Homo-oligomer: A and B are copies of this chain.
């Protein structure tokens, strides 16, 4: 195999109560990448379509992730990377993660899989470090492993994959405003009340329990965040109304995707998820705010080979 074409899925990180630890993988939103063996050693970004991103390997998240991986494995040849972006940078659904994860997944395939998907996470995290200054796994873990992922610990890295109940669907709306991760981070308070923290970890426990027991109601009851969301949501136009609309149309829960501005809702069944999408669209249509919207089953597989 000299060339591989990949689907690199978008992801929803945080999931309300699970700030900095939980994420899930989408099936219908994502980039494509082609990774090709080359006689020239090293890694080169040869094509980027759909986004204005750096072509220099060491300034591109997929290049940096690939280089981190190649430090730990011997190869006779090099790699060319073509990136076809569909996920907008700064959307809050794991754009940089898709590129970082795709690069290391593709090279790993071309090398005959020296690493497991889980082992690839740490390399992809180096792409995230370039993108946001923070080598976090919130998006690269679900992108590489599929389903839900829990980053129990970042140092040492300890990631648990949790299979998703089969009828769990996500709706994600991306209002087209720019919200930098650094701004979304800077508004956060560095201390929280013990009371709120207890509420939050009770909900994380409830959400994980709900996923293992296919208890959709419990998943819904657990999807709350009284620490990050009340502050960060103020940066997102129409957040309260979009969330209210999601609940009114049957959502199990709704909150900020990643650091925003995208807003997600989870629901049982595709029909409800589509109904929520329609209602969310109406909210942004009425104020003439451009948006993209996705409805997707949770993707059990993660990044995958197209051909």
Contact = CB atoms under 8 A, between A and B. Distances in A.
A20 B20 CA distance: 21
A305 to B, nearest CB: 28
A193 interface: yes
Contacts of A197: 192, 197, 200-201, 227
A64 interface: no
Instruction: Indicate how many identical chains form the complex.
Output: 2
Interface in A210-262: 212-213, 218, 221-222, 227
A160 interface: yes
A155 to B, nearest CB: 10
A31 to B, nearest CB: 28
B202 A150 contact: yes
A133 to B, nearest CB: 16
Contacts of A203: 152-153
A194 interface: yes
Contacts of A20: 198, 202
A213 B205 CA distance: 14
Interface of A: 17-22, 150-153, 158, 160, 162, 188-195, 197-209, 212-213, 218, 221-222, 227
13 contacts: A21-B202, A22-B205, A150-B209, A152-B218, A152-B221, A152-B222, A153-B203, A162-B209, A192-B192, A197-B197, A200-B201, A201-B204, A212-B213
